[in-house]
Copies of this chain bind each other. A is one copy, B any other.
């Protein structure tokens, strides 16, 4: 039931990240600067570590776009890993490059290492961590940026903000929290909010569980590495009375409006014309300088988790990725609702 469908691939230190998007209408103008701007937004934020300086991600289109517009054919996006030249041997496709000396064998708590190595029967945990790394969200951000370009043509707008980092709720406090954590070799998560404006009424549907828009958004956001909670609308739904929570409906001059938006823009699994408000919780980054106790998969002995260069806090990046992931869900809903093979098909659309 996907019209905007895509696959992504690529390892954290491999040659490149790739995405193929299938289902975009033709004649969508591709603003490459916007896409690179989104990639840059993902790399910023207070609390990011050194790698963000190495990689200034930029996307290259290798198919589906000609003279600045989509053609209807599948669109391929590639982001090259700038650090790859130093990793060519370690990440080599070639069997003859195999070497055990650099293999990685200490499970990192909070990561995919343990379950992944059992599932895929891997002794070198690098074969797990290279793909489970949040690095892959770079290409997801690029795909989402394309989805945003599509949505923009309908006037849809998107913003996000950080609500809380650790126990801090204001920017100054947040920065102090992050500074403290960094000094302590520790990490922090937080809460953020994504808002989409100007969505038409009736994206998604109540008629079948897998068409509920809130469910689709929840999947998209929860599948971002480190996200542990997703909410639509007000977080206090559980402790409010029905008479307080529900957004009463008013009319003025034949125009329906609300005074509140506790529902976060979704009723019955559909957009209801109010702002779509999605909140999420990101857990603290599981790679920390302050070592966590763990087990060595090879020796089966108790040890401490290895530290690879990492960030102290990446909630801002996570919010950018969430924007992108939600953009993909919404683009798909537009395509399901309105059809369309080329952008001109929407010319007479009244939202």
Contact B9 A63 (CB under 8 A): yes
Contact A270 B122 (CB under 8 A): no
A71 to B306, CA, bound (A): 21
Q: Which residues of B contact A271 (CB under 8 A)?
A: 115
A196 to chain B, nearest CB (A): 15
A190 to B239, CA, bound (A): 6
Interface string of A201-219 (1 = CB under 8 A from B): 1100111111010111111
Contacts A112-B268, A230-B230, A271-B115 hold; do A120 and B72 have CB atoms under 8 A apart? Answer: yes
A273 to chain B, nearest CB (A): 7
A37 to B1, CA, bound (A): 31
Copies in the assembly, this chain = 4
Residue A45 is within 8 A (CB to CB) of chain B in the complex: no
Residue A161 is within 8 A (CB to CB) of chain B in the complex: no
Q: Which residues of B contact A155 (CB under 8 A)?
A: none
Residue A188 is within 8 A (CB to CB) of chain B in the complex: yes
- Total interface residues on A, CB under 8 Å, equals 161
Q: Which residue of B lies closest to A91 (CB)?
A: B66
Within 8 A of B (CB), among A256-272: 256, 263-264, 267-272
Contact B109 A246 (CB under 8 A): yes
Contact B120 A26 (CB under 8 A): yes
Contact B98 A67 (CB under 8 A): yes
Q: Which residues of B contact A206 (CB under 8 A)?
A: 112, 116, 128, 131-132, 225
Within 8 A of B (CB), among A85-109: 91-95, 97-98, 107, 109
Contact B9 A286 (CB under 8 A): no
Contact B1 A2 (CB under 8 A): yes
Interface string of A106-138 (1 = CB under 8 A from B): 010111111110111110001110111000000
Contact B232 A228 (CB under 8 A): yes
Interface centre among A27, A113, A248, A295 (most CB of B within 10 A): A248
Q: Which of B62, B237, B272, B300 contacts A229 (CB 8 A)?
A: B237
Contacts A269-B112, A337-B339 hold; do A119 and B205 have CB atoms under 8 A apart? Answer: yes
